[in-house]
Chain A
Amino acid sequence: MLIKKSISIVFIICASTMYAQTCCSGGIPLSNNIGMSVEEKGTFQLSLNYDYNNLNTLNNGTEKLNDDSRLRITNSILFNISYAVTNRLSVEGLFTWVNQRRVISQFGNENLDQTSGIGDGLLLLKYNFKNGLGKNSNIELGLGAKIPFGSSTETNNQGITLNADLQPGSNAWDVVYFLSASKQANFRPSLTFSGRIIYRSTGTNNSYFENSSYKFGNEIQTFLGVSDQFSILKTLATPSISLKYRDAKQDEIDGFNLDNTGGNWLFIIPDFSINIKPNLVFSTRAELPLYSNVDGTQLTPTYRITTGFLFKIKPKSKLLNLR
């Protein structure tokens, strides 16, 4: 009951920030939010997260410009579902709902453009090489596709089509490559070191503004982290800290690089999760930029907060009848 109530409350809270329109694909944190662990055969994992991404920093290369008049906010609801087909093979889906806002505060006015709706999704097939790095380790390899569920032709309230950056979908299929590894420390099994690389080879929207093509830049994200587990007030808590490096190539219009897109970034991600119940985990994390080097002049992330629940449904244990 508590779980149902909690999930409902999160949904209501998130939905209350949205109006009737739609949002972008560039800002949906797809790569950030895939990679559920491969569990015992027959295990279902469900997670529901809310992601708030605030971009209010204008950079020219690595230089921060003194201008906070532009604000981009992406609110995303991310629903992951994973099923362990075998003890080594799992399939994971990520479905999104997004609201993206562009607010310009200039000359005493605030101008808002926003879209919201179903965003692109992602399907990932993963294989686990247990103990591939020795005892108590995992290596996972994955291959997937970003599926263009979201609309890429949303308009503003005057009926004018918004640009690719503000659309909820990309109208392009991407190929996603996934590699992760983790290892528990021998001296303290609850202490885990982990790494993850996700590469997205992006597809092309060939009907951008009806007569052009648009391709978001290929992107690689690398995570390195360490986590540990503690018991706090009889509750299992797992704090972790990660570094994320992201490199995005320039977007392309009709095959030509688009200025003021792409760059590379380094983030630090503190994360805290607690086991509310043995099969229910609540987690929240922040993502803060340590280094931003953008191509040309563009808005760059200021901070991101992601929070939500992970629910595991293990298969029922088979009872042995020894008679």
Chain B
Amino acid sequence: MKNYILLALLVLLTSCSTTSESVENSIPNEFSEWLIPINQILDGGPGKDGIPSIDNPQFTEAASVSFLADDDLVVGIIKGNETKAYPHVVLDWHEVVNDEIDGSFFTLNYCPLTGTAFAWESKTNNTRTTFGVSGLLYNANLILYDRNTDSNWSQLQLKCVNGELINDKPKLYNVVETNWKTWKALYPDSQVLNAQTGFSRNYGTSPYGDYATNNNRFIFRPEITNPALPNKERVYAIIDETKSKVYQFSDFTNGKIIKDSFEGKNYLIAGNNDIIYGFGLNNDQANLTFEYDFNDSESFFKDNEGNKWSIFGTAIEGPRTGESLESVKSVMSYWFAVAVFYPNPEIFSTQ
């Protein structure tokens, strides 16, 4: 009898121990070459798609938004007649939104650990794709993967760093980052990504506690830190190949327009206490004199010809209406992230 009891218990044990056998890897990326040091790529913890992208974003009219406070940060984009804003309080939990604007598919991606957001075309190998969160980090920064080829893309390096598309660069769309109060003043008709994401999350509470403001705290320590500025100071960085120049909010107190040069190119940087954005200037535009002109409407600065320009660098009034200043590769970022991806960045100074 005891033998039968033992046998029965062993059968029970067998059934318990085989539960996890049905799981298999999906779409394995078989490319072992990485453009970044593999010992500096870290597993973030949640796993691939453990932080789920939003693939079916839902929006609310800006006028009807009640879930944002004035100082909540949003990432804004404009194309054609459409403007959209993506609040950090939602992005913190998803990091990637696969979306469409004015007929173009794009991926808005945001890394809460480096404070960086980009939007780029959702296309690889000339085919529409979507991106997801790989669960991997490089110098605390998001690595995305594309679902066409399973290639891995370093967000702040703006490059595919592993997989079939290695060395490919994404086609960027312009985005600005600012607080909700500023954005709704600029674009009151904007669509705003809401919390109807299809996922159950505690939106409104950061999953990273005081990380965004605690300069001493890292969850994933970058290879180098640069003490020139506080680690988590939000700076605006212009990126030129492997170099960068950064601008601080303190440079734009109460609104300023700065003409500057970097690596032999002319730039115009517009900003105030809540937003900074920059543009390249061609020879013709370099001769214009610009002036801050933000009065809670779309116009952010004006020039001596009587043109009024939006924060995205488009002339919205005046003789140059419709003309755009040249887009530049740039990002709002925590200082430490710019300093590790683009070592020894130049810091703008009026001195």
* Chain A residues within CB distance 8 Å of chain B: 2, 6, 9-10, 13-14, 16-17, 50, 52, 54, 58, 60, 65-67, 69-71, 73, 75, 101-104, 106-107, 109-113, 156-163, 165-166, 209-212, 233-235, 253-254, 256-260, 274, 276-277, 282, 284, 296-297, 305, 307
Q: What are 12 of the A-B contact pairs (CB < 8 Å)? A: A6-B6, A17-B17, A52-B16, A52-B17, A67-B200, A104-B47, A107-B132, A112-B23, A162-B43, A235-B5, A256-B214, A258-B219
B219, A111: Cβ atoms closer than 8 Å? no
Give, as a whole number of angstroms, the nearest-CB distance from A234 to chain B.
7
Q: Which A residues are CB-close (under 8 A) to B44?
A: 163
Which listed residue (A9, A54, A211, A233) contacts B221, Cβ 8 A?
Answer: A211
A-B CB proximity, top 3 nearest: A109-B26, A106-B49, A65-B200
B49, A209: Cβ atoms closer than 8 Å? no
B2, A163: Cβ atoms closer than 8 Å? no
Which listed residue (A17, A60, A107, A274) contacts B18, Cβ 8 A?
Answer: A17
Closest residue of A by beta carbon distance from B199? A67
B127 close to A (CB within 8 Å): no
Residues of B1-31 whose CB lies within 8 A of A:
1-3, 5-6, 9-10, 12-14, 16-21, 23-27, 29
Task: Report the separation of the CA atoms of residues A235 and B220 in the bound assembly, to the nearest whole angstrom.
Answer: 56
B13, A73: Cβ atoms closer than 8 Å? no
Task: Report the separation of the CA atoms of residues A161 and B40 in the bound assembly, to the nearest whole angstrom.
Answer: 9
Task: Report the separation of the CA atoms of residues A157 and B223 in the bound assembly, to the nearest whole angstrom.
Answer: 23
B49, A163: Cβ atoms closer than 8 Å? no
Q: Which A residues are CB-close (under 8 A) to B219?
A: 253, 258
B43, A156: Cβ atoms closer than 8 Å? yes
Task: Report the separation of the CA atoms of residues A305 and B12 in the bound assembly, to the nearest whole angstrom.
Answer: 11
Closest residue of B by beta carbon distance from A6? B6
Closest residue of B by beta carbon distance from A107? B49
A158, B42: Cβ atoms closer than 8 Å? no
B49, A109: Cβ atoms closer than 8 Å? yes
Task: Report the separation of the CA atoms of residues A160 and B220 in the bound assembly, to the nearest whole angstrom.
Answer: 14
Q: Which B residues are CB-close (under 8 A) to A71?
A: 23
Task: Report the separation of the CA atoms of residues A321 and B273 in the bound assembly, to the nearest whole angstrom.
Answer: 98
Counted as pairs of residues, one from A and one from B, with CB atoms less than 8 Å apart, the total is: 160
Q: Which A residues are CB-close (under 8 A) to B349?
A: none
The answer to whether residues A14 and B47 also contact, given A212-B218, A259-B209 and a CB cut-off of 8 A, is no
B58 close to A (CB within 8 Å): no
A106, B221: Cβ atoms closer than 8 Å? no
12 more A-B residue pairs beyond the given contacts A65-B200, A210-B39, A253-B219, with a C-beta to C-beta distance below 8 A = A13-B10, A50-B17, A69-B49, A107-B53, A107-B132, A110-B24, A110-B26, A113-B47, A158-B38, A160-B136, A258-B219, A307-B12
* Chain B residues within CB distance 8 Å of chain A: 1-3, 5-6, 9-10, 12-14, 16-21, 23-27, 29, 32, 38-39, 41-50, 52-53, 55, 132, 135-136, 147, 199-202, 205, 207-209, 211, 214, 216-221, 223
Closest residue of A by beta carbon distance from B44? A163
A109, B27: Cβ atoms closer than 8 Å? yes
Which listed residue (A6, A102, A233, A253) contacts B1, Cβ 8 A?
Answer: A233
A6, B10: Cβ atoms closer than 8 Å? yes
Q: Which A residues are CB-close (under 8 A) to B29?
A: 158
Closest residue of A by beta carbon distance from B130? A107
The answer to whether residues A70 and B1 also contact, given A65-B200, A112-B25, A256-B214 and a CB cut-off of 8 A, is no
Which listed residue (B20, B45, B136, B211) contacts A101, Cβ 8 A?
Answer: B20
A254, B221: Cβ atoms closer than 8 Å? yes
Q: Which A residues are CB-close (under 8 A) to B218?
A: 212, 253-254
Q: Which B residues are CB-close (under 8 A) to A9?
A: 10
Q: Which A residues are CB-close (under 8 A) to B39?
A: 161, 210
A256, B2: Cβ atoms closer than 8 Å? no
Task: Report the separation of the CA atoms of residues A296 and B19 in the bound assembly, to the nearest whole angstrom.
Answer: 28
Q: Which A residues are CB-close (under 8 A) to B202?
A: 60, 296-297
B49, A10: Cβ atoms closer than 8 Å? no
Task: Report the separation of the CA atoms of residues A269 and B289 in the bound assembly, to the nearest whole angstrom.
Answer: 76
Q: Which B residues are CB-close (under 8 A) to A104?
A: 46-50, 135
Which listed residue (B5, B6, B38, B221) contacts A212, Cβ 8 A?
Answer: B221
Task: Report the separation of the CA atoms of residues A75 and B209 in the bound assembly, to the nearest whole angstrom.
Answer: 32
Closest residue of B by beta carbon distance from A284? B9
Q: Which B residues are CB-close (under 8 A) to A13?
A: 10, 13-14, 17
The answer to whether residues A209 and B3 also contact, given A111-B25, A112-B24, A259-B208 and a CB cut-off of 8 A, is no
A297, B207: Cβ atoms closer than 8 Å? yes
Q: Which B residues are CB-close (under 8 A) to A209?
A: 42, 220-221
Task: Report the separation of the CA atoms of residues A75 and B19 in the bound assembly, to the nearest whole angstrom.
Answer: 10
A110, B23: Cβ atoms closer than 8 Å? yes
A14, B17: Cβ atoms closer than 8 Å? yes
Q: Which A residues are CB-close (under 8 A) to B46?
A: 70, 104
Give, as a whole number of angstroms, the nearest-CB distance from B341 to chain A.
17
